[in-house]
Amino acid sequence: MTDTALKPAPINHWLNGKLTPGTSGRSARVFNPATGEVQGLVDLASVDEIGAAVEAATAAAARWRTVPLSKRAEIMFRFRALLDAGRDDLARILTREHGKVHADALGEIARGIENVDFACGIPNLLRGGYSEGASTGVDVYSIQQPLGVVAGITPFNFPAMVPLWMIPNALACGNAFILKPSEKDPSASLFIADLLQRAGLPDGVFTVIHGDKVAVDALLEHPGVAAVSFVGSTPIARYIYQKGTEHGKRVQALGGAKNHMLVLPDADVNMAADAAVSAAYGSAGERCMAISVVLAVGDVAGELVDAIASRLPALKVGPGSDAANEMGPLISREHRDKVAGYIGSAAEQGATIVVDGRAQEFSGNGFFLGVSLLDHVTPDMDAYRDEIFGPVLCVVRVPTYEAGLKLINDNEFGNGTAIFTRDGGAARQFQFECQVGMVGINVPIPVPVAYYSFGGWKASLFGDTHMYGPDGIRFYTRTKVITSRWPDPAGSRVDLGFPQNR
């Protein structure tokens, strides 16, 4: 093998409709999590490069906002068709850089496509309102107009789906969009950029700028960026919101989670166990909607723990390129080791390790960790308090429904939760009483469909609007109200009185 073959591939920015090498002189390594090998070097933008990207996007936005809604919808329809046709190729990119198995990658893309479907209806979504005859000879109507240049800062765990929560609505509303993807798995964003160009999106309307904190701060501080969307951890979400709003921007920042699944004694134990395993270990637990805590009420606890544990030996963990595997590696060696540390600390603090993922052996240098199940976890333990973001499921035994509900409502996060029961009255009471933004009833991962909106409460969301769906349209537009009259000039007169409806 030649030296050239061993050299990591460069991963450039997407500016003005083409791949553009960075000029900062800085780059970051992109790993294949299944092998531990460096496979790419992604450019990291400087403040000047961010400025140039915003300038180009500003010029493009001025032209794009004049494009008719029917034309924007046509481009979204073409983009949707190209994305559908290319989903296997995109899934392979996700597997190569993130590590998730191919089937999981395809699921991520399918949920992303739902948001393109929604944006295809932009002529209907931007209809506005009209009141004829609000006063004598006066009509009042409202219109929704784009903000200009908007930016998205997206996480490593869903490098295709989360950008697609933002991009279709932002573009369809008439904005230019700058995407700053995670530097850990940046190539999916370039695949999307190419599809948008092939769909007919004018150059400069969509930009991909890679980077780290330098790029993030530059976007937050640049006066030409009107709004910022973010998904990531709570400390960073809080920072994004505070810094962005300090600089006069509209900000929606989705943070972390600690999602509980409350299992009542009347629940179907096998169904609850299947759901807990699926929701805890899918995507290697690296998703903000993962169930990380099962609250087992009363006598159901022992049977439920046994049922969950019995399912774990059959899970196939390995490289995502192997279709037989159900769970891939974690994103990095450092993150794998951090997650493993929670297993040890839980045992030291009094939890029972029912299944220890650290004991599973894997060949090679990939960032693998087996699945873990912890029982007798208590709220004072690190494994309960922190968002682990890995394949670790904690079981907390509670005596009553009320005790379980209190733990959910007392938690600093309020992203997602679920209840498993056969009692419709208990389920209805739960959906009313729980202080969480997204609730599942016998559904472990209640991610809303694209024509609703995604977002939690409390420390899981900073800002006034949720992501995608109707809230996405509201976030990427501002309302203008027009009061119109076409009087006979002969009847015109001076009137210093307060305007009245009469």
The catalytic site residues sit at 288
Residues present in the chain in total: 502
3-state helix, strand, coil in the chain (%, to 5): 40, 25, 35
Question: What distance in Å separates the CA atoms of residue 156 and residue 329, rounded to the nearest whole number?
Answer: 13
Task: Look at residues 409, 366, 429 and name the one whose alpha carbon lies nearest to residue 39.
Answer: 366
Question: What distance in Å separates the CA atoms of residue 173 and residue 390, rounded to the nearest whole number?
Answer: 36
R_g over Cα of the chain = 25
How are beta strands 13-15 and 18-20 bridged, if at all? Answer: antiparallel
Question: Does the CA dihedral 342-343-349-352 come out positive or negative?
Answer: positive
* Cross-strand partners of 252: 229
State the amino acid at position 201 in one-letter form.
Answer: L
Residue 159 has phi, psi (to 5 degrees) of: -70, -10
DSSP per-residue codes, 454-471: B--EETTEESS--BSHHH
Tracing tokens 């209805």 back to the chain, one arrives at 428
Question: What distance in Å separates the CA atoms of residue 353 and residue 454, rounded to the nearest whole number?
Answer: 34
Helix (H) or strand (E) holding 86: none
Question: What distance in Å separates the CA atoms of residue 281 and residue 139, rounded to the nearest whole number?
Answer: 57
Question: What distance in Å separates the CA atoms of residue 139 and residue 337, rounded to the nearest whole number?
Answer: 64
